[in-house]
Structure 1
Amino acid sequence: MKKLLAFICLCIQIVPIMGQSVLRTPHGVKVETKAACVELECFSSSIIRVKKYPLGQAPEKQSLSVTMQPKKVKYKIQEANNQVILTTSELTVLLDIIQNQVRFATKDGKELLAEKPSSTGFTSFNDAGNSTYRIRQTFLLDSDEAIYGLGQHQQGKMNQRNQTLFLQQANTEICIPLVHSIKGYALFWDNYSPTTFTDNAQGMTFDSEVGDLCDYYFVYGGGADKVVAGLRELTGQAPMFPLWTFGFWQSRERYVSQDELVGVVAKYRDLKVPLDGIIQDWRYWGEDHKDWNAVEFRNPKFPDPKKMMEEVHHLNAHAIISVWPSFGPATGIYADLKALNKLMIHETFPQDNGVKVYDTYDPIARDIYWKYMNKNMFSIGMDGWWLDATEPEHSPAKEGDLEFQTYLGSFRKVRNAFPLVSVGGVYDHQRQETSDKRVFILTRSAFAGQQRYAAQAWSGDVVSDWDVLRNQIPAALNVSLTGIPYWNSDIGGFFSGRKFPEGVKDPAFHELYVRWMQFAAFTGMMRSHGTNTPREIFMFGERGYWAFDAQEKMINLRYRLLPYIYSTSWEVTSNGGSLMRALFSDFPEDKKVTDIGDEYMFGKSILVVPVISEVKRRSLYLPEGTQWIDFWTGEKQKGGQEIIREAPIDIIPLYVKAGSIIPAGPSVQFATEKSWDDLQVRIYPGADGEFTLYEDEDDNYNYEKGKYTTVRMTWSDKDRQLTIHPRQGSYDGMLQNRNFRIVVVDNLKGLGLDNESYTVNVEYKGKKLNIKLP
């Protein structure tokens, strides 16, 4: 490290010497070494693109993930002793011409990441008649450096060191060649072909099957939040979801008729159990696989889908529908795509029925896809999209499948970007159709940048099993650390029949399901779904039975927390924030949290510790640097210690960070049933804190035009004073006056959100208020 710092100081004094091998470019420098041509390009002072390619070639590439254009950045380029140094206000990048090595350091010389010398590999490869390369690059990490990301994988690892992963999209596996380091940087390997990631004693390597160049982005932030914000700046911001999407969702594989689907919603209303969404899974198009995914209602048990949607909406609920990227040969969309040669060749589920995947990389194919969705679904009031199997499902793979020439080249070349492009096509088309309804997409696969398309990934067809439940937590956190903020899983696991053949009749399944639901209440989407057995709450018995009551308790808690969740989603949209947060994001100085993958922060205030076994207690760690208040009891605990928390079946351990301000909404049956004119504001003392309450029109894009309000609240712990600052912004129909019920959580018993002891009521009219509390 001292050697690197001394070298930087020496070079700063050297007058740049630009020879034939070192050329300035509009945003950086281009250097020809004996091995390759290397370009360093400043996208910002903290984001650097590195391109390497064989001499004499200058491949043009339009990134599918990166939307950012290079900014005008002040930088210096200097050359000495076969070294080229590029410096910005945030970073120093050193290129050793002899060793063909790029190194990254902070502006004060602290080394962040280095390529392994002479480890760039270009192996000639014939990709379906196109002369190109297999490409490879190795990087050197610190021996104790934790890295995260790479997408969603089911092996239960939080820290992604010391393993080999084959990155190719598949059901339950989301593959994103991006690592996020605990040292405060991310590296995005911008390649869409199947890629082998390896980390061992020789280094960390990305080895991609095909590519015209080695192309990666180094994003520096100094901390997890700024790294994620940098990734969003690079690949696109996450738009707001409608408020109703954060309510409770019910689904099943599958509802067999429109009467059954509407009946489920009506049953929830009769029971007065909150619900906002219902999902129609496959075969609404009919039972014959040759009619597969017709993107229209052909099944006679769905005779009037427009009426179905009207009835769902009359019940103050919303519906989304399963649409696949593959089509049976008896469908109209298949015929339209085939006539224009827009179908791919590989077999997909269901096999041996002639079902084909569309060439999503072709804009004309995406137009046809949306034409059917718009005509047969969106026009009748469908509220959103469940884009299933966006890997796309590809089995059994056959020789020649990867050689198929898509609109953007061989399928091998663009394989892993299929979900990004397919989901993006739906988002773009709906935005062109209207700005009065926000896009909402649930999808089974993802790639870097997919957050910009209002897409929420889920973990695929996982098995109902305690170990699988445990593995969902680090899977979700690693997705979040790639810049994709919203994730969820099938409550109870998709395949229940393997471990619980009696399904909902088995009390053991009830226990797993309840614990999974408790976890789901603190994810991007609280959604019940699965096969083998129904999952509706009324299938578990009646009120008074523990499994019913525990579910209802968590559903109601989710709705009470909607002001907190929706305001946090604004932080995601406006500041590149995260909803599910790895502990090191908020406690970077606490080395004990580095590899904790079974607890996390939900927003910046709530520590969530899911119960992941039949044992009704949890060993958990409270991060140091703050006090923690038990959400359920109000008991205070100091940070930096491991404790045992009893967890009866209706309790998930939750702890609130001292200094938190949490708004709680009214009890409702659906998200927009009641306005937020009488909110509880819960203060958890022990430190200063702040929170910004966000509100808008719920389900349009007027917020992009500035039509929203924020109310900032700050807490002075020393003065025990809450300051509610002047309201900022406005929108049609906004609340002019409201009541805040302020509760200070000070070792009160039996809290949750129901105990309002020591409440102070204040009327707020948008002007500043200072409230002194006892």
Structure 2
Amino acid sequence: MKLKHMYILFLLVFSLYNTSKGQSYKHTDLGIKTVINSTEIEIQFYGPSTVRILKFPEGDEFEKKSLSVIMQPQEEIFDIQEMGREITLKSKKISVVLNLKNGQVAFKTISGEPLLNEKAYVGKFTDFIDAGDTTYSVSQSYVLDENEAIYGLGILQRGKMSQRNQEVRMVQNNTEDYVPFFLSEKGYGVYWDNYSPTTFKDNSESTSFSSEVGDGIDYYFMYGGNSDGVIACMRNLTGQVPMFPLWTFGYWQSKERYKSQNEIVGVVKKYRELGVPLDGIIQDWQYWGNNYLWNAMEFLNPDFANPQKMVNDIHDLNAHIIISIWSSFGPMTKPYREMNPKGMLLDIGTWPQSGLTSWPPNKDYPSGVKPYDPYNPEARDIYWKYLNQGIFKLGMDGWWMDSTEPDHLDFRAQDMDNKTYLGSFRKVRNAYPLMTVGGVYEHQREVSSDKRVFILTRSAFAGQQRYGANTWSGDVSSSWESLRNQIPAGLNFSLCGIPYWNSDIGGFFAGAYNKNWNDGSGSKNPLYQELYVRWLQFGAFTPMMRSHGTDVPREIYQFGKEGEPIYDAIEKAIKLRYSLLPYIYGTAWDVTKNQSSFMRALVMDFNDENVKDLRNEYMFGKSILVAPIDSAQYTSEKVLKIDADTGWDKAEKEDTKSNTETNFRKPKSKNVYLPAGEEWYDFWTNETYLGGQNITATTTIDKIPLYIKAGSILPFGPKVKYAAEKKWDKLEIRIYEGANGEFTLYEDENDNYNYEKGMYSTITFNWNDAEKVLTINDREGNFPGMLKERTFGIVKVGKGKAAGDEVVMLFDKVVKYNGKKVLVKF
């Protein structure tokens, strides 16, 4: 072990003690440890930008293998300085100051600028009996600047962008996924590494995390300088993001539920007949039969008599299928019968509550369904064994992992005392989704490298980005309020370092819109049509564009036919998504390679006070500003408050029938704020605006406000019916002049892990605005099937050069490219 460079020279071979002023501390390989006010405190450098703080009562032992943190601490060169009652540890990036009198820890930049202070005490430990074991409840408070904005905490349905001035009880549930992490506008982040029920509280006095169970306080401070830097630190700490398959970025159709294999295959056939692009279809629950066979991981329902044919038929239509699997099992299933004698099932109430499928649940006939213990490695092995045997070997393309919180119904106090492999359920409660999703990812990776793991999951925890998982926001209600809440929910989740997120397009519980409606489906109800179209347009600019819900069917042909405004608006949004696939896939590579984010809160990219708490606009990638229409413009808005646990009770829904004819062809408008310091192009008209102002954007039912940042280079792909239908041999490249710009076009084999071996290619485009020169650089890398030659149609979008909606831009230059550097001068 190499000695660290320090200003303090009196180092002993094994340890160092400073006894000045009655205080002592011990030098360790990673930092220091000491005892202050009967509390052991240890400061550990995990790298130049990340520090771990450990605290526990003197005389106790605190050994913990983190479930989220996979980074190994690095041997870091740091200096130690002592002045008065303070000791300062300095790395190349940050300073950590420990008050030797009261145990307060403060964090500063290397130049001494304050970042974050603990409140002036060492932390709080309260005796707690956890399922018979003596331990503590733990708490730590911090002092933030009065107007400091912070973000993160997971997926919250509260409509807030900055997470100040609130109290959040963190216990995973259907529609809120908690990550005990926040990111500050000052360029630092704090991850509270605890998995028990936790309360985040922020008020004028302090900001704190308090957890029910903890043998000690354990948190990480990271300084990145800006949001991207903090996210990079969080991913270095908890895991990097793999590439998702190209097909996952196309359009996905789903509902609760397709009731036969003929029905689900028929939906794909209908999309192909209509020429509307589609890449994925999802089979929801009950393909296994009755509730006593819940999640059997077998096709036991006679309406799915030949599942291999179903999968083959969908693949033959050039589409992909993923299927619902749960974290629980019915008592008649093989996994249940194997796990139960081994104590691998949790005795808590979960969905479904009855063995009968009638509503409301008849609890005289309990289902007996129980969640399994994913903390147990053998239980994860058993889970995969049946999943592999019953479904994966059919050629299933991915997993819709429902109830990964898991559902916890009919709560009893003793439920949290359930023993898991890692202790009480209370102790590890919030990490349940991380463990169950991770189990599927790791097992599939062991048996196949030809198919990238793709998991759609209802819950998440810190570190889940490393498992090929896209989290959706749960069974949210179909209302404008709910749509408004999804935007900051997705942005704050992304700011936790987990970039893949989506929501049920149209909301899940939509029964209010079909009660007493003409055809009983609600899809012809103008109130729902407007909400659905606006949600779909928002969904086109999220990492996964997926339509799903109950009560109202969501397939495009349910809403009308070609030539009608609602049908045309849906088709236009889907086709726009597909035209942007080269941009989206390039952004996915930026996420994987450079630790970037898909959905970017405006505070990430713009030094503008007006965007710090702006909750209804964001960047999709680094070029496209999206301003979703989140309020009704054509119909009266109904705000529906629906509890996800009782949302199935259709009798409680209000009648939202509209008796007035709606003119969806009339233009409307929306106020949009354009961030300062940039010039912006209206995507539809190419009209230019200076940032730092509110503008009134003209909208129609088939258009939402989209703006392109000057200096952007956007690639547009061919018209296709599915993502991989055509090679990208002829791409349109739009250059939005007004600033220098860069974009890297990324390509690989679309659906295997060969990219991890370097089998991919990149072409980087650079725009020099002053010289009006586009440089198409040498292609780097190669892979089987790579295009050797291609054509780029270049469009220079200039100020005042309006294209108009639906007008095809004429190429300014056509470039034949064979992989060698090309300069295109304008």
Q: TM-score, normalised by structure 1?
A: 0.97
1:361-394 Cα offsets, whole Å, 9 max, x none, are 0001101111111111110010000000101000
Structure 1 position 214, deviation (Å): 0.2
Match of residue 293, structure 1, among 275, 295, 301: 295
Partner of 1:447: 461
Structure 1 position 80, deviation (Å): 3.6
8 Å CA contact retained: 1:15, 1:78: no
- Alpha-carbon distance in structure 2 between the residues aligned to 1:171 and 1:596: 26
Match of residue 24, structure 1, among 24, 27, 41: 27
Match of residue 391, structure 1, among 397, 405, 413: 405
Partner of 2:494: 480
8 Å CA contact retained: 2:514, 2:552: no
- Alpha-carbon distance in structure 2 between the residues aligned to 1:752 and 1:679: 20
1:426-449 Cα offsets, whole Å, 9 max, x none, are 000000011111000000000000
Structure 1 position 13, deviation (Å): 9.2
Structure 1 position 500, deviation (Å): 5.0
- Alpha-carbon distance in structure 2 between the residues aligned to 1:62 and 1:752: 56
1:252-304 Cα offsets, whole Å, 9 max, x none, are 00000000000000000000000000000000011x21111111110000000
Match of residue 809, structure 2, among 745, 750, 756: 756
1:496 aligns with 2:510: yes
- Alpha-carbon distance in structure 2 between the residues aligned to 1:164 and 1:12: 43
- Alpha-carbon distance in structure 2 between the residues aligned to 1:14 and 1:651: 68
- Alpha-carbon distance in structure 2 between the residues aligned to 1:753 and 1:13: 70
Match of residue 415, structure 1, among 402, 410, 429: 429
- Alpha-carbon distance in structure 1 between the residues aligned to 2:512 and 2:99: 56
Match of residue 205, structure 1, among 202, 205, 208: 208
1:35-434 counterparts in 2 under 5 A? 35-118=38-121, 120-286=123-289, 288-351=290-353, 352-434=366-448
1:135-183 Cα offsets, whole Å, 9 max, x none, are 0000000001000000011110000000000011001101110001000
Structure 1 position 100, deviation (Å): 1.4
8 Å CA contact retained: 2:7, 2:80: no
Partner of 1:710: 762
- Alpha-carbon distance in structure 1 between the residues aligned to 2:805 and 2:240: 34
- Alpha-carbon distance in structure 2 between the residues aligned to 1:647 and 1:397: 47
Identical-residue share of aligned pairs (%): 56
- Alpha-carbon distance in structure 1 between the residues aligned to 2:318 and 2:740: 40
1:679-758 counterparts in 2 under 5 A? 679-746=731-798, 747-751=800-804, 755-758=808-811
Amino acid at match of 1:551: I
Q: Partner of 2:416: helix, strand, or coil?
A: coil
Q: Partner of 2:101: helix, strand, or coil?
A: coil
Q: Partner of 1:426: helix, strand, or coil?
A: helix
Structure 1 position 62, deviation (Å): 0.4
- Alpha-carbon distance in structure 1 between the residues aligned to 2:231 and 2:55: 25
Structure 1 position 14, deviation (Å): 9.8
- Alpha-carbon distance in structure 2 between the residues aligned to 1:749 and 1:109: 50
8 Å CA contact retained: 1:611, 1:617: no
Cα–Cα, structure 1 residues 752 and 109, in superposed 2: closer, same or farther, change >3 Å?
Answer: farther
8 Å CA contact retained: 2:345, 2:373: yes
Amino acid at match of 2:717: G
1:632 aligns with 2:684: yes
Match of residue 527, structure 1, among 523, 543, 546: 546
Amino acid at match of 2:428: V
- Alpha-carbon distance in structure 1 between the residues aligned to 2:407 and 2:592: 31
Amino acid at match of 1:339: P
- Alpha-carbon distance in structure 2 between the residues aligned to 1:754 and 1:44: 52
1:534-575 Cα offsets, whole Å, 9 max, x none, are 100000111011110000001000000000000000000011
Q: Partner of 1:681: helix, strand, or coil?
A: strand
1:673 aligns with 2:717: no
8 Å CA contact retained: 2:513, 2:527: no
- Alpha-carbon distance in structure 1 between the residues aligned to 2:462 and 2:161: 19
Structure 1 position 608, deviation (Å): 0.2
Q: Partner of 1:505: helix, strand, or coil?
A: coil
1:472-526 Cα offsets, whole Å, 9 max, x none, are 0000000000000010001100001135534213111011000000000000100
Q: Partner of 1:283: helix, strand, or coil?
A: coil
- Alpha-carbon distance in structure 2 between the residues aligned to 1:610 and 1:196: 32
- Alpha-carbon distance in structure 2 between the residues aligned to 1:734 and 1:381: 25
- Alpha-carbon distance in structure 2 between the residues aligned to 1:768 and 1:751: 33
8 Å CA contact retained: 1:293, 1:326: yes
- Alpha-carbon distance in structure 2 between the residues aligned to 1:493 and 1:312: 26
Partner of 1:436: 450
Q: Partner of 2:610: helix, strand, or coil?
A: helix
Partner of 2:612: 594
Match of residue 560, structure 1, among 569, 579, 590: 579
8 Å CA contact retained: 2:793, 2:811: no
Match of residue 528, structure 2, among 509, 514, 534: 509
Structure 1 position 748, deviation (Å): 3.1
8 Å CA contact retained: 1:664, 1:753: no
Q: Partner of 1:498: helix, strand, or coil?
A: helix
- Alpha-carbon distance in structure 1 between the residues aligned to 2:132 and 2:377: 24
- Alpha-carbon distance in structure 1 between the residues aligned to 2:271 and 2:455: 24
8 Å CA contact retained: 1:463, 1:498: no
Cα–Cα, structure 1 residues 311 and 23, in superposed 2: closer, same or farther, change >3 Å?
Answer: same
1:568-604 Cα offsets, whole Å, 9 max, x none, are 00000011100000001110x2111100010000000
Amino acid at match of 1:230: C
Partner of 2:673: 621
Cα–Cα, structure 1 residues 170 and 292, in superposed 2: closer, same or farther, change >3 Å?
Answer: same
Q: Partner of 1:66: helix, strand, or coil?
A: coil
Q: Which moved more, 1:255-264 or 1:641-650?
A: 641-650
Partner of 2:556: 537
Q: Partner of 1:19: helix, strand, or coil?
A: coil
Amino acid at match of 1:749: A
Consecutive aligned runs of 4 or more in structure 1 exceeding 6 Å deviation: 11-17
Cα–Cα, structure 1 residues 590 and 666, in superposed 2: closer, same or farther, change >3 Å?
Answer: same
Q: Partner of 1:295: helix, strand, or coil?
A: coil
Amino acid at match of 2:530: E
Q: Which moved more, 1:753-762 or 1:64-73?
A: 753-762
8 Å CA contact retained: 1:496, 1:533: yes
Q: Partner of 2:302: helix, strand, or coil?
A: coil
- Alpha-carbon distance in structure 1 between the residues aligned to 2:7 and 2:145: 26
Partner of 1:8: none
1:662 aligns with 2:714: yes
Q: Partner of 1:215: helix, strand, or coil?
A: strand
Partner of 1:770: 823
Partner of 2:623: 605
Structure 1 position 78, deviation (Å): 2.6
Amino acid at match of 1:602: F
Q: Partner of 2:381: helix, strand, or coil?
A: helix
Structure 1 position 745, deviation (Å): 1.3
Amino acid at match of 1:295: M
Structure 1 position 532, deviation (Å): 0.7
Cα–Cα, structure 1 residues 13 and 109, in superposed 2: closer, same or farther, change >3 Å?
Answer: farther
Q: Partner of 2:74: helix, strand, or coil?
A: coil
- Alpha-carbon distance in structure 2 between the residues aligned to 1:53 and 1:758: 66
Q: Which moved more, 1:435-444 or 1:114-123?
A: 114-123
Structure 1 position 339, deviation (Å): 2.5
Amino acid at match of 1:166: R
- Alpha-carbon distance in structure 2 between the residues aligned to 1:433 and 1:42: 36
